[in-house]
Structure 1
């Protein structure tokens, strides 16, 4: 059986499905098909249990190394070290587990969107059945408010409209028809004789024959893509993996060198093991995963204040790496509120209509004339007609303006309000009463109502497609007077009997073309005075001989702040690409207005063109494409994959079921918090609480700042680790078999977690650098150590370790005990790192940074210094860490001497401008 049921006649579809409208399927046939096709439900994804997820967190190389260190410490009698490291391991694992556990909800939300029951004809009777029992060939009854329980070919439609926004991205309900569609390559949004599972019926009634159930439906296809779409690792995760592997290799290399050197020197095995433990603990920044999580959490808190909620902490930094934002149009770049943007009356006058969305604040601004809208009889009457011939309702609640009903009709009511015409007042006053309604349908492309005025007179108020309204017209109004139109007999088209009327029609046609070029949805309005005899006539007779009044150009306008946001992205080296289910003309017009299309070389590509395009060709043209229009879920997924193949870091925004696979695949999926479906929210990494594109730009800025601050923290943390490793290595190399370790494992843990980790946390709230949004985005494969950061870490770490070893050697040489000398080395390294914090705050030098701009850092330094002095000078600290109290003179000397490495190297960089220093 063909899947392209929209190309089949109704009779042909019923025949191929082996069913009839009158009888439906028999009980025997239903049983056979249920056995053949299975239940009409989405298959549940295999997912990891909570316990499996928790165990999965221990695959991290950093955690693995720490586990080895804890085990060795335990078996060699270093119980405090073993317990401390084990606690750190479990804290890190729990944080990672909780983030991943919350993300396993996408398919569950998709399943919950399905309809619970359905009305079908079976054995000649209408019966209610569980939706999961539907089979292909069932005749499904469709009512307003229904959620379609399967994919259907529409076989009967009575003013039937279905909201398919979640599936296709269409911003308005789609009017359904039974007519055959000849083009086999049209997308879901254009298949107007089909209905799809999980979409909602907004108006009308109809019948449909079920053509697909379960995983064979369009939403089932999306579910299958979600299940088989691999979630890519974020650049942050890749960089962290690189750091972990680098540190693991470094730790193993250092321990190997010590073992070889120790054996060569004839050192005892126990001494070699103790030294190896100290070095492995020193090489690994135990608090790194925890501190990074805390820094990202603080960033997440700041982002929530900007209306961006991060579901996964790693996504926060990824935003800072983003090179291309693939953005949906409706509701993200636009307001998702239809608005009358332009108006034209049949006297040839234009107005621009200001305002925002459904707010009544705004005005009609004359274009190339000085006529106030209230002084145009035809426009004022046209606004009354648009308000009377209208099923929408304007609502103001707690200062918030909304529309109940069709958004386009709501836009007409709001436009009238801007001219001083209030819908509620018009009806409540009794000036106008609706006698009869003739709703819009897709075949006649018009809607009309019979209106009774307060004095008992009647008239017909009509709105519809401009060409259709003109074809039903006998005149146009000019300055309050009706100019008659005459029909020709040659081709059935309207012609004008006299030159003035011909000119008016030409102006009317030009206005239609002008609005179309601006991608405005155009509606015309007209009226007809009715006699008592007319009231008994059919609407097909009444909707003739009308007088045309004017045109309204309607669209979902861009958000006011979006143009600046798109431009900010452009200046930051981040491309914005519009990906939408809307028509190419509409999408391109919006893209030009907000700056996504910046020149003639920027391409607009449609879904049908993508179908004929290979993946290689798509990858080739991706950098040139500004708009992808009329796209399907498969197209969105292909576009994201093509961007990633080109080494882009792709952010993808979306709100519907159709966006879910691409949201999962993108480096960072951005779901809409207000209009977004639960499927989209569960598939994304970031949720926009205000559905606003400019919020993404704020989040990109936050992401870049967080990345900067993470690099500053990693620089501080790893410099400290290099200092700890080097002080032990210097002692080992200089002292040979008689080595006395300058630092114990527990001292190293204290430095990593308290004296280094706590102040380094304050780097997470470091104010942003001045050139933050002027830099080009980082490349996907750029590590944390880029721009010579690795060199600076090693150079400064060796300097800090060297100073600590010199202080240790001096103490031993001066005849002090080994414990006293270790305390000297301990204190020297702590204060050297605290001095280095001020240099880590910037990518320039500390001489260019005001030391008082980060109050948190100053407080953290004070706390860390106080706690460390407590370890040295309190009996409890001396008992646990084997320290001895240092003399006041020695402590002052240590504080001053420990500043020398940082001050000297920073001065050298300031003078020479050498990047790697």
Structure 2
């Protein structure tokens, strides 16, 4: 045999899975005594770590990336404009604005970088805590080490409960039972004997043996499968929304600047530098430069909070997608259930005389041996009040372990009186064969087994016999069939309540299970989640029209779950749900689940998932059960609510700055200082950053970005605030309103004091707007977070002190004193109140109810019956359409208040008579009867679309 190098092994030029084990040792240049530490270190450099490839990112590039987006580009253009274009008119470059803009950019980028980095480090630390350990032979000693340092040629020890850390070949020892479901989808453990290969990611269910590692990391079967999953992130809803809002703000600013340029220079013949300053005001004040930072910080802090709840967020934009999730496809085993067999004592069937359910359970426990680590034995013994009862007061003589041929266990024992007994438990068919019983009794037991199966319960038979010969080889007296035990995987104690909560939150939970349909339905029944479940064959087009009568897409949408599902079915379910515009979440734990997890809007790797599943997922759970997911949904909606509140605020501020300052600049030729807008922006950003920890009420239904609502609300609120600013400037500049109302001195002729007054009014009302956008009801009723309130008060205290005391010649501002400061606060509070009213009006208008009322003339009618006649006319028209009658020539007359009541009544009466005739005609057929009942109940016959058979 030609010798090959380790490089050849790494390049997989030889198949180490099929050649004899002795040749494996020769190719890998190792022995059963394991590797030395130095040799292992050398091989680690050749083969790399035993884990999936991870993408690393340059920290500097990541930091600079926060300054590389369209909003930042606009601010960077403003900075260049401040020192290049503003260098004219006999004035020096606007260095203070340039420095201020650069500082603002760096502040935003630094905050974003630190918060995202902290969230990433927290998630990485938690993921590191999930790293598996393994027992490896190094330098002749058995050591427990991270599985990531394994190399080909290492000798490892694997035993019951271990996740196999790398592809390996088994050495001498007892055979293993290995669960390969995470890799191959096989539901039952397979036997692996010495010399056979085992795959990374498999779980040892029984036995203990040593093995030699033949492949690690991306070279394993596990790694190759995971590598096929595209690891690139698609552009999420968040990025698209961020771009749309940014573009809206940029276009609004561009439109305002265009108007200013056209009016100021050709029409008003303003000085060059004054015009540039006014353009800078719109650029600096209008662009929501903090938006990417606020939103990313909100998600980063939210991500940290989710990790504390047991949900590690790998992709932060998954938070806003989880907030909009309306369908969750959940695994049954381990997520909805305990993944632990148990006996339903209430359903135990007693078939022997003089015994009860507890005795049947005790007999089954005596025929069990916990040391074998068999799931059924462990389950039955665990049902006893004290596991020691199984052997209490008896002496074991012989135990027959379970084997695939006899499919039962048996124990021969001596009781306290010295009498010999024998008990057997196992597959009911095998136990029935042991017992000689009348045909009627046998038929009854089979019917019980069938009834268990119909409910998704597995049956376990128990029989008993006396051994008077007192010999373990004696056949004993005739066997007596004592009872049947129903076995099932019980739901988690919180699953039913969690599903109820999920449905209440508008999230439809669908059970996806590889188990049989009957088992899935029984679990669904116990959880109260509906039993409208289908076999996986339905997903492949083999659907029964008698059973569903629905197109496959609609069937998937309306089903409560699917049974007998393989990983490829999961992908199909997700794809079809997404095609029907659902935001879909999917849970998974194996490498075969990775494509479906990647395809889903929110891929969720459950507790104890494989590395491949975690790599493909967006969220990794560190605790079992569905309750973690529902808690994460609530937290995500709260985070999303904060982000939506801010985006409405940002759009409003853009409109108020652009429209307000443009009108002031053009109507009064008043040149506001760009530096003061920069101060407003800096103070605003400091306050708005605290929105990430604000108190909010999560939406009771799936939430999503409604751009129409964001833009409409922003435009209306922004326009109102701009007009309030224009009104304020008019009252302060052209009238004695403040002097007469508040008794303050006039500042009409003092532009520097007008600058300070205008600055304070804009600052107060702009920041106060956040309290309006953050609340669903009156803003003074919903208490904000302490940090937000404290930041607002601190920022406005600074703004008030600047307006009252500052005498800044470089920005043409002079302090106005506390009298004017108090007057502006009073004016701002009064003009703040209508903002809530406007918010309610916009929401009502966008809901569509207002337009329906207008169309139906119920909003403005003076009739006491509130549109009864119109509704009758609409019903009559619908009846005409239903029965194929021609519509009246002028349909609008039916909805006109001036049309005659008598004519409308006759139309409605005739239509009612025709409808009654049609109803009686329908009753002659079964289908017609069913349809009539459906109509009577007010159901939608089109959506039901069932077929009727007798």
Q: Pairwise CA RMSD of aligned residues?
A: 4.8
Residue in structure 1 matched with residue 769 of structure 2 by the alignment: 836
TM-score, length-scaled by structure 1 = 0.72
Structure 1 position 77 matched with structure 2 position 95: yes
Number of residue-to-residue matches in the alignment? 780
Structure 1 position 242 matched with structure 2 position 236: no
Partners of 2:427 and 2:172 in 1: CA distance = 24
Residue in structure 1 matched with residue 280 of structure 2 by the alignment: 277
1:319 positional shift:
2.1
Cα distance change on mapping 1:43 and 1:861 into 2, 3 Å: closer
Cα distance change on mapping 1:750 and 1:672 into 2, 3 Å: farther
Partners of 1:859 and 1:146 in 2: CA distance = 53
1:821 positional shift:
1.0
| Equivalent position to 2:820, from 890, 898, 904 | 890
Cα distance change on mapping 1:697 and 1:144 into 2, 3 Å: closer
Residue in structure 1 matched with residue 401 of structure 2 by the alignment: 439
| Equivalent position to 2:421, from 455, 459, 464 | 459
The 5 A counterparts of 1:302-381 are 303=306, 307-342=310-345, 347-348=350-351, 377=355, 379-381=357-359
The 5 A counterparts of 1:307-706 are 307-342=310-345, 347-348=350-351, 377=355, 379-392=357-370, 405-417=373-385, 422-425=386-389, 427=391, 431-471=393-433, 473-474=434-435, 485=436, 496=437, 501-530=438-467, 534-536=471-473, 546-597=479-530, 599=532, 603-606=534-537, 609=540, 621-673=555-607, 675-677=608-610, 679-681=612-614, 683-706=616-639
Verify the 8 A CA contact 2:333 2:339 in the aligned structure 1.
Answer: yes
Cα distance change on mapping 1:562 and 1:42 into 2, 3 Å: closer
Residue in structure 2 matched with residue 869 of structure 1 by the alignment: 800
Q: Larger C-alpha radius of gyration, 1 or 2?
A: 2
Verify the 8 A CA contact 2:457 2:486 in the aligned structure 1.
Answer: yes
What secondary structure does 2:95 align onto?
A: coil
Partners of 2:127 and 2:452 in 1: CA distance = 42
Residue in structure 1 matched with residue 7 of structure 2 by the alignment: none
1:223 positional shift:
0.9
Deviations 1:856-877 (A, max 9, x none): 65544433332222223355x8
Residue in structure 2 matched with residue 92 of structure 1 by the alignment: 112
Deviations 1:618-649 (A, max 9, x none): 75653234323344444433433333333221
> 5+ unaligned residues in a row in structure 2: which ranges?
1-14, 31-46, 85-93, 139-148, 545-549, 737-745, 851-950
Cα distance change on mapping 1:559 and 1:229 into 2, 3 Å: same
Verify the 8 A CA contact 2:116 2:300 in the aligned structure 1.
Answer: no
Partners of 1:28 and 1:290 in 2: CA distance = 55
Partners of 1:140 and 1:895 in 2: CA distance = 75
Residue in structure 2 matched with residue 189 of structure 1 by the alignment: none
1:509 positional shift:
1.4
1:800 positional shift:
4.2
User: Relative CO higher for 1 or 2, CA cutoff 8 Å, sep ≥ 6?
Assistant: 1
Verify the 8 A CA contact 1:81 1:746 in the aligned structure 2.
Answer: no
Verify the 8 A CA contact 1:161 1:174 in the aligned structure 2.
Answer: yes
Verify the 8 A CA contact 2:245 2:651 in the aligned structure 1.
Answer: no
Cα distance change on mapping 1:46 and 1:851 into 2, 3 Å: closer
Deviations 1:13-43 (A, max 9, x none): xx9997579x767968999xxxxxx999777
Residue in structure 2 matched with residue 161 of structure 1 by the alignment: 177
Deviations 1:714-769 (A, max 9, x none): 3234323322222321123224xxx4323x33322332342575268458534427
1:688 positional shift:
3.9
Deviations 1:43-84 (A, max 9, x none): 746654444544544443233333333444466412234323
Deviations 1:574-599 (A, max 9, x none): 22222233333322332343244354
Cα distance change on mapping 1:66 and 1:376 into 2, 3 Å: farther
| Equivalent position to 1:709, from 614, 618, 642 | 642
Partners of 2:421 and 2:20 in 1: CA distance = 44
The 5 A counterparts of 1:37-56 are 44=53, 47-56=56-65
When you count strand as a share of all residues, which structure comes out higher? 1
Cα distance change on mapping 1:16 and 1:296 into 2, 3 Å: closer
Cα distance change on mapping 1:745 and 1:651 into 2, 3 Å: farther
1:282 positional shift:
0.9
Verify the 8 A CA contact 2:123 2:312 in the aligned structure 1.
Answer: no
Verify the 8 A CA contact 2:264 2:666 in the aligned structure 1.
Answer: no
Partners of 2:217 and 2:683 in 1: CA distance = 56
Verify the 8 A CA contact 1:653 1:670 in the aligned structure 2.
Answer: yes
What secondary structure does 1:335 align onto?
A: coil
